[in-house]
């Protein structure tokens, strides 16, 4: 059970985050706040520091400096408590080839301490929704890229995370599956969860995100709603125009 937090507590708060590799800053003093219950799209060109930032939030990499708070919990001081509220879906699905789809979900539920019965019912619902019900007892080694991606998403959702972090979640999905995933994300946000998404498909960010952040060279260069980002840039300005102007500047 999570403590009831005042509404002003952000889902994610990053302050002065810094991470360098071999003396080169990948994330350079980043400040970012994502409110609870929103879909936040983090955009940026290749190598801008998006994935490094998110890996630090999920505890996969340790920052050189800065602070990360997940729903008010210091993720660096108490990573276990922070991870309990998080789910991370990387751009390459993390699966075990020799486990079946149902076993994979049961394993993740076990790691997040979801009661077995609840996990089983959630697994059935997720597999059904994602079109994998008939694959529940099939080993992952025979899955296509899209099926692996969907199962990895089901794995991220099996423990009902409060903050869902998705790195390129639509990679490898056909149009119908992509639509299902987008609908699911909107639903879980309506249910009170928060979603942070990185994508190179700007249309997805434009349509789904309540706020968009643009990162370049490890720094946040713009942030706001779609309307705020295009404001003052002339009629007919698209997110692509804004992105290209800011990311290439």
The stretch among 9-17, 97-105, 175-183, 191-199 that binds another protein (CB under 8 A) is 97-105
60 binds another protein (CB under 8 A): yes
| Contact assessment for residue 73 and residue 85, using Cβ atoms and an 8 Å cutoff | yes
| Helix spans in 1-136 (H) | 50-57, 79-85, 101-111, 116-129
What is the C-alpha separation between 109 and 156, in angstroms, rounded?
A: 10
25 binds another protein (CB under 8 A): no
Q: Between vectors from CA 105 to CA 101 and to CA 110, what angle results, nearest 5°?
A: 145
Q: Report residue 125 as tokens.
A: 């619902």
145 binds another protein (CB under 8 A): no
112 binds another protein (CB under 8 A): yes
> To the nearest whole angstrom, how small is the minimum distance from the Cβ of residue 15 to another protein?
19
Closer Cβ to another protein, 82 or 130, answer by number: 82
Distances (CA, A) of 154 to 151, 158, 161, 163: 5, 6, 11, 14
30 binds another protein (CB under 8 A): no
Site for another protein (CB under 8 A): which residue of 62, 145, 179, 233? 62
- Count of all residues that appear for the chain in the document: 249
What is the C-alpha separation between 175 and 103, in angstroms, rounded?
A: 27
193 binds another protein (CB under 8 A): no
Sheet strand arrangement including 65-70: 24-34, 12-21, 65-70, 73-74
Closer Cβ to another protein, 158 or 230, answer by number: 158
158 binds another protein (CB under 8 A): no
Site for another protein (CB under 8 A): which residue of 5, 25, 61, 201? 61
Angle between the N-to-C axes of helices 175-190 and 145-157, in degrees from 0 to 180, rounded to the nearest 10: 10
Neighbours of 12 (CB within 10 A): 23
Coil, strand, or helix at residue 152?
helix
142 binds another protein (CB under 8 A): yes
Site for another protein (CB under 8 A): which residue of 74, 133, 141, 225? 141
8 binds another protein (CB under 8 A): no
Name the nearest CA neighbour of 161 among 191, 132, 128. 191
Q: What is the DSSP letter of 3?
A: P
> To the nearest whole angstrom, how small is the minimum distance from the Cβ of residue 111 to another protein?
4
2 binds another protein (CB under 8 A): no
Per-residue contact flags (x/-) with another protein for residues 66 to 95, judged by CB under 8 A: --------------xx-xx-xxx-x---xx
97 binds another protein (CB under 8 A): yes
Residues of this chain that bind another protein (CB under 8 A): 58-62, 80-81, 83-84, 86-88, 90, 94-100, 102-103, 106-113, 116, 137-139, 141-142, 155
């Amino acid at each position: 059970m999570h403590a009831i937090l005042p509404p002003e507590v952000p889902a994610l708060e990053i302050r002065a985050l810094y991470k360098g590799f071999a003396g080169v800053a990948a994330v350079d003093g980043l400040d970012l706040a994502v409110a609870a219950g929103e879909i936040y799209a983090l955009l940026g060109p290749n190598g801008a520091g998006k994935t490094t930032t998110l890996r630090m939030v999920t505890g996969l990499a340790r920052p050189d400096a800065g602070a990360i708070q997940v729903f008010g919990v210091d993720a660096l001081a108490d990573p276990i408590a922070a991870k309990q509220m998080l789910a991370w879906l990387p751009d390459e699905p993390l699966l075990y080839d020799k486990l079946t789809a149902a076993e994979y979900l049961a394993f993740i539920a076990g790691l997040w301490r979801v009661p077995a019965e609840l996990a089983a019912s959630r697994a059935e619902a997720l597999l059904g929704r994602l079109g994998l019900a008939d694959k529940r007892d099939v080993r992952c080694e025979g899955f296509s890229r899209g099926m692996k991606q969907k199962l990895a998403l089901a794995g991220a959702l099996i423990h009902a995370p409060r903050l869902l972090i998705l790195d390129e979640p639509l990679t490898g999905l056909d149009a119908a599956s992509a639509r299902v995933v987008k609908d699911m994300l909107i639903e879980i946000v309506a249910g009170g969860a928060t979603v942070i998404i990185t994508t190179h498909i700007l249309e997805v960010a434009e349509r789904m995100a309540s706020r968009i952040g643009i990162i370049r060279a490890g720094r946040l260069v713009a942030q706001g709603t779609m309307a705020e980002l295009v404001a003052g840039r002339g009629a007919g300005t698209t997110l692509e125009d804004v992105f290209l102007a800011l990311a290439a500047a």
